[in-house]
Structure 1
Amino acid sequence: MDTHLISRSRLLFVAILLSFFASLSVAETPDDPWEGYNRAMFNFNSSVDSALLKPIAKGYDKIVPNPVQKGVSNFFSNLGEISNLTNNLLQGKPDGVATSFFRFVINSTAGWGGLFDVATELGLVEKEEDFGQTLGYWGVGAGPYVILPFLGSSTVRDTGGLAVDYANYDPVEILALGNKEELGLTVLEIIDLRASFLSAESLIFGDRYTFIRDVYLQTRDRAIRDGKDKASKKNETSDDSRWGEETDSWGDIDEELNTI
């Protein structure tokens, strides 16, 4: 074989490796030291979404009536109360524990298995928590921002929390269904969740990657602080009677994009 050709192939391979590792060293913000990898994974996820998940979600949104979609969302949200209850307990929040418990009981009974959110109408607003928030509540730092394959935005802390949540509080497993039924419900949950973000995409401006990253990090930080500003969180007293005002410039955008 031509040794010159082999030499050129080796040089090309080395150049590709150098370019790859150089991309990993890009760090435009302290929270995102792995931006090179993250952008590559972000583009991969976007390609998969555009080719598969988004078209299915659009079809679901077009065919399924809004009241039915709302019922599906309520159903999965009600199953999520198990995780909310557990993590409120781990964070030492008795109000959150009581709220999550009674929401689950009320919506599972009067709400026809969770299809109707009767508890919210009664004034019991969901206190959503997960294990990543529990870790943050007890002082564990977020760590670097990272894009997970297929799952999207996360941090090192939230990735660990996600693994614990999945292992211990998988809501679909609570129903004790067969493998096929469980898979079908999981697929429905993913499609319903993706459909819920279709309208939010019009709110994205500028660099899509940066926008989603910043919204995610701000939303997670505010969720851990239960909506309090940093000053009030730092100086709060044991009676927990003072609540900070939200001054987040993103407004309602981060509420709709927090899981993209």
Structure 2
Amino acid sequence: METTRGASLSKRNRRGIIVMATAAAIGISGCASTGVSSEPNPADPWEGFNRKVFAFNDVLDRYALRPAAQGYHFVTPDPLERGVTNFFNNLGEIRTAFNSLLQGKPSNAGVASTRFLMNSTFGLAGLLDPATHAGFVANDEDFGQTLGVWGVPEGPYVVLPFYGPSTVRTATGLPVDFYTYPLTYVENDTVRYSLRALELLDARAQLLSQEDLLRGDRYSFIRDAWLQRMRFEVNDGEIGDDTFIDDDFDYDEDAFAE
């Protein structure tokens, strides 16, 4: 059985959603070090444009999404909040199974499928997570990772309005991620939009306690951490050399699993 490489946090991000600055915060939990290189990053040739979009996303997050997430976290009992997170994570197993097959990982596809079936039935539609307690843990996969496994270059780093950090390759995979996510096929608009809003609030609320890990230039920190994590996922846990990150920027494998 394959082991996790931080699937829970990656699923909290739920790449098919427009997550404003929440998507940027993926990197926060993966790296607790304060060392971020001030040198130009060769992966970020569009830095001037990206910083402007980052500032736009940051304003939206600071004055709209973050306060709403704080309110949601304050009024929602912890067991219920965990149940909401489990519910949306469970929906992501379908995407993981699909992309695992495309990547030639039938074992991971089988584990993801088992997780979905077990949690959807014994876990009360995914509110509970008996599959993890039974030892079934799959590596989270999306189509951006699939393209990476297929050898498609990651391309320049780009910050997308409302969504956050990405690369050209990751952004190319978003439409496929969208159509392999079950909420896309909920026909009732009110139900679909309500679930999307709840998912967004829950995803942002999971990151509230991790914001104090940001150090120095927030843009550079988030960019470097996000790129490191993305490469970590594509390479199934092997980061390789990141020359734009200085020696003090340490990778903590345990932090990815929290």
What TM-score range do you get, normalising by the shorter chain? 0.7 to 0.9
Query: Closer, same or farther in 2 for the Cα pair 1:230/1:51, shift >3 Å?
Result: closer
1:183 corresponds to 2:193: yes
In 1, Cα distance between the equivalents of 2:189 and 2:227? 35
Asked whether the equivalents of residues 111 and 137 of structure 2 are also in contact (C-alpha less than 8 Å), the reply is: yes
In 1, Cα distance between the equivalents of 2:184 and 2:225? 31
Q: 1:152 aligns with which of 147, 160, 164?
A: 164
In 2, Cα distance between the equivalents of 1:249 and 1:42? 24
- Alpha-carbon offset, residue 177 of structure 1: 4.3
Asked whether the equivalents of residues 231 and 239 of structure 2 are also in contact (C-alpha less than 8 Å), the reply is: no
Q: Deviation string for 1:175-219 (max 9, x for gaps)? A: x34110110000000010011111111111111000000110000
Identity of aligned residues (%): 46
Partner of residue 205, structure 1: 215
Partner of residue 196, structure 1: 206
Partner of residue 184, structure 2: 173
Which amino acid in structure 1 is aligned with residue 181 of structure 2?
Answer: D
Partner of residue 96, structure 1: 108
Moved more, 144-153 or 248-257: 248-257
In 2, Cα distance between the equivalents of 1:42 and 1:112? 39
Asked whether the equivalents of residues 115 and 136 of structure 2 are also in contact (C-alpha less than 8 Å), the reply is: yes
In 1, Cα distance between the equivalents of 2:92 and 2:164? 20
1:220 corresponds to 2:221: no
Which amino acid in structure 2 is aligned with residue 133 of structure 1?
Answer: Q
Higher relative contact order (CA 8 A, sep 6+): 2
Partner of residue 82, structure 1: 94
Alignment of 1:1-260 (within 5 A): 28-166=40-178, 168-174=179-185, 176-230=186-240, 249-251=250-252, 255=256
Gaps of 5+ in 1: 1-26, 232-247
Query: Closer, same or farther in 2 for the Cα pair 1:50/1:229, shift >3 Å?
Result: closer
In 2, Cα distance between the equivalents of 1:229 and 1:71? 32
Asked whether the equivalents of residues 76 and 171 of structure 1 are also in contact (C-alpha less than 8 Å), the reply is: no
TM-score, structure 2 normalization: 0.79
Say how many residue pairs are matched.
Answer: 214
TM-score, structure 1 normalization: 0.78
In 1, Cα distance between the equivalents of 2:207 and 2:235? 24
Partner of residue 245, structure 1: none
In 2, Cα distance between the equivalents of 1:169 and 1:123? 25
In 1, Cα distance between the equivalents of 2:255 and 2:233? 11
Largest Rg, 1 or 2: 1
In 2, Cα distance between the equivalents of 1:65 and 1:211? 32
Query: Closer, same or farther in 2 for the Cα pair 1:252/1:57, shift >3 Å?
Result: farther
Any idea what SS the aligned residue of 1:80 has?
helix
Which amino acid in structure 1 is aligned with residue 229 of structure 2?
Answer: T
Asked whether the equivalents of residues 137 and 224 of structure 1 are also in contact (C-alpha less than 8 Å), the reply is: yes
Which amino acid in structure 2 is aligned with residue 251 of structure 1?
Answer: D
* CA root-mean-square deviation: 2.1
Any idea what SS the aligned residue of 1:28 has?
coil
In 2, Cα distance between the equivalents of 1:154 and 1:117? 29
Which amino acid in structure 2 is aligned with residue 107 of structure 1?
Answer: N
- Alpha-carbon offset, residue 115 of structure 1: 0.3
- Alpha-carbon offset, residue 170 of structure 1: 2.6
